[in-house]
């Protein structure tokens, strides 16, 4: 007794395992993405003001506790700071910069940078901060 072979080949691909693997990878990336911290280690000052939405694509200038200035991830030497900022094409076109400064810095260091940015034509300067934990109880609730 001879078994007949079908004339056509079965060429279906089972995509269920592929979809399962892709969903697992998606979940892994969704869980780990918020944990990734990019940039330099800076202790940001805390504020009580409401958080504003910061566009991640905007230009970020970082000043660390050693007063080193970074434009994005690139360190700018102090002697070339003013020339580098004034020559930056992105600053000229966007006219918006966010400053991420260490809280231990002298006030004058940040103000000097803000002055250089204004001279370079920046119209909007934002300060990146951390939200302050409510340490002092609400004064209205104490009076009641």
Q: Judge whether 99 lies within some domain.
A: yes
Please tell me the number of Cα atoms within 13 Å of 110 on its side-chain side. Answer: 19
Q: Judge whether 14 lies within some domain.
A: no
| Rounded average pLDDT over 2-24 | 80
Q: Judge whether 118 lies within some domain.
A: yes
* Count: domains in the chain: 1
Give 23's pLDDT tier (boundaries 50, 70, 90). Answer: very high
Q: Judge whether 84 lies within some domain.
A: yes
Give 44's pLDDT tier (boundaries 50, 70, 90). Answer: low
Q: What is the DSSP letter of 78?
A: G
* 110 within 8 A of 99, measured Cβ to Cβ: yes
Q: What is the value of pTM for the model shown?
A: 0.54
pLDDT tens, position by position, 45-59: 565 655 556 566 778
pLDDT tens, position by position, 62-102: 888 888 888 888 888 878 888 888 888 887 788 888 888 88
Q: Judge whether 56 lies within some domain.
A: yes
Cβ atoms within 10 Å of 60's Cβ, excluding its own? 20
Q: What is the DSSP letter of 43?
A: -
Give 139's pLDDT tier (boundaries 50, 70, 90). Answer: very low
Contacts of 126 (CB under 8 A, 6+ apart): 52, 54, 58, 96, 97, 98, 99
Q: Judge whether 61 lies within some domain.
A: yes
d(CA 117, CA 69): 13
Domain boundaries, position 52: 46-131
Q: Judge whether 19 lies within some domain.
A: no
For residue 52, the domain's CATH number is: 3.30.420.270
């Amino acid at each position: 007794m001879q078994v007949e072979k079908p004339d056509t080949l079965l060429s279906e691909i089972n995509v269920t395992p592929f979809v399962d693997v892709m969903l697992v990878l998606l979940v892994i990336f969704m869980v780990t993405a918020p944990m990734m911290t990019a940039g330099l280690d800076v202790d940001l000052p805390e504020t009580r003001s409401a958080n504003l939405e910061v566009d991640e694509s905007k230009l970020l200038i970082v000043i660390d506790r050693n007063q080193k200035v970074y434009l994005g991830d690139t360190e700018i030497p102090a002697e070339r700071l003013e020339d580098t900022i004034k020559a930056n094409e992105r600053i000229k076109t966007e006219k918006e910069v966010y400053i991420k400064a260490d809280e231990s810095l002298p006030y004058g260091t940040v103000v000097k940078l803000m002055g250089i940015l204004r001279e370079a034509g920046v119209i909007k300067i934002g300060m990146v901060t951390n939200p302050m934990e409510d340490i002092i109880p609400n004064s209205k609730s104490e009076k009641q």
